[in-house]
A and B are shown apart, each in its own frame.
Chain A
């Protein structure tokens, strides 16, 4: 039943919100994903490391940052598999797995995917993973984790 058919309620005017995302100061991160690389930043003044990357240091307030590639083997810290999709992710079609994995001093978020195409499997906390980059069906670049165990 549509809202206009319910009793005691009317439907509002349509209101579409689409935002511009300013990425100029962290563009290397987004370019990196297209080249299969994942970057964090490190403050040249105090050494603080940031993932996701940021252009300014939250600790010493310097803006003298360098890009650091995040690579190697990661460890799953936490994960979930979503069965209820938010608006904008209907394309997923089936439950998707979001995880946070640590790579040395850096942690990154990603979608965990199974080795076998089309198969959905769950990771475990503590599982060793590698990180790859790729585009989803909507063209957004992101990180994908795969088990290396």
Chain B
């Protein structure tokens, strides 16, 4: 395969389970559900897979070393697996591992599997795992941080500096619930009113119940192949990875320079934009999946990814710019907020949703395509990891 550096990598198949409380299935069974859909979608069989990458944030499941059990169950024994962890951005890192293996010419057909079963433990345990996403000794051990608490601190900083309001944050929830109502894979298929969202109880001030994504179970899978392999297989329904960017930030919150945005989002997006030749995301990108684990996260992402100026994210949602018919529809599938956020699955599930959009298979949730380019933005922890993909056909 020569140098490999010129090899384009395409996504030829995607799969995603229903998100929600999945007490009906083990991690092996939900991974299988997603992988079977992805293989069928790609028109390949398990024998065609040369490398499997298994992503999970982990700890909440009874299976602490889950890559091999999943690989066995999916019939991939001997094809890897590589287990990947990048907190809530695990899925994006799993796709990257498959992508780079193909770019390097080591594999020419690989599968990235992301999954999480968060409901195997109770809520206080789940909060204690998420609360360890910073630096245990200096944060959780002393202060009992939780994951909603971390984002709530960013929300407080953003509200104080830019005047972002409860109502603007709630508008993100209302939009994403409205979209999720039409997504058969979503955890919450119910619209909510602005009044209900702003009137809900606090989980971590200033974030209320409806500002938070749920505790979710689910899996997603993507089959990636080299351009050469795609030609050999005669596949023409391909979505190409045109750009990818990554960054990260400090584990310890006191070591951050600022709290009203995520440096990892800014840097990851700039890296991906450079690679894909994006200099005006609003004009060049048709549809985006942004990391809305909390409503404030979607508002900060509008700004950090350059959809609007810093501090104007609240106005961006208020003016409908991220809705259908706006400047750039965001989270048309319901977002993490309402489709659900099974940590390790999320990054792969975002790819699944944008692939469906770019292939014009999103049904009632189809965005209007002009350039046939989409974006995924996936954050791990509180901006601890940042990943952005630009996809195109």
Contacts and interface: CB of A to CB of B under 8 A. Distances in A.
B314 interface: no
B23 A83 contact: no
B247 to A, nearest CB: 16
A83 B144 CA distance: 12
A52 B62 CA distance: 33
Contact of A79 (B131, B148, B153): B153
A124 B202 contact: no
Given A84-B146, A111-B143, A90 B124 contact: yes
Contact of B156 (A52, A79, A111): A79
A86 interface: yes
Interface residues of A, number: 44
Contacts of B125: 87
B148 A84 contact: yes
Contacts of A93: none
B139 interface: yes
B133 to A, nearest CB: 11
A105 B254 CA distance: 11
Contact of B204 (A23, A82, A92): A82
A83 B161 contact: no
A126 interface: yes
B106 interface: no
A125 B161 contact: yes
Interface size class of B (residues with CB under 8 A): 35 or more
B142 A80 contact: no
Given A140-B142, A142-B143, A100 B153 contact: yes
Interface string B250-262: 0011111001000
A92 B201 CA distance: 19
**Which of A51, A85, A140 has the most chain B CB within a 10 Å cutoff?**
A85
B124 A87 contact: yes
A3 B143 CA distance: 30
Contacts of A9: 23
A83 B204 contact: yes
Given A77-B259, A80-B152, A80-B156, A85 B202 contact: no
Given A78-B154, A80-B152, A8 B23 contact: yes
A107 interface: yes
Nearest to A106: B254
A15 B59 CA distance: 12
A10 to B, nearest CB: 10
Contact of B254 (A84, A108, A141): A108
B235 interface: no
Given A78-B153, A81-B202, A124-B160, A86 B142 contact: no
A16 to B, nearest CB: 12
Shortest Cβ-Cβ A-B pairs, 5 listed: A125-B160, A80-B152, A89-B144, A107-B254, A86-B127
24 contacts: A6-B23, A50-B255, A52-B135, A52-B254, A80-B153, A80-B156, A80-B205, A80-B207, A82-B144, A83-B201, A84-B123, A84-B146, A86-B128, A86-B146, A89-B144, A99-B153, A107-B254, A107-B255, A107-B256, A108-B254, A109-B253, A124-B160, A125-B157, A140-B142
Interface of B: 23-24, 62, 123-125, 127-128, 130-131, 135, 137-146, 148-150, 152-157, 160-161, 201-207, 252-256, 259
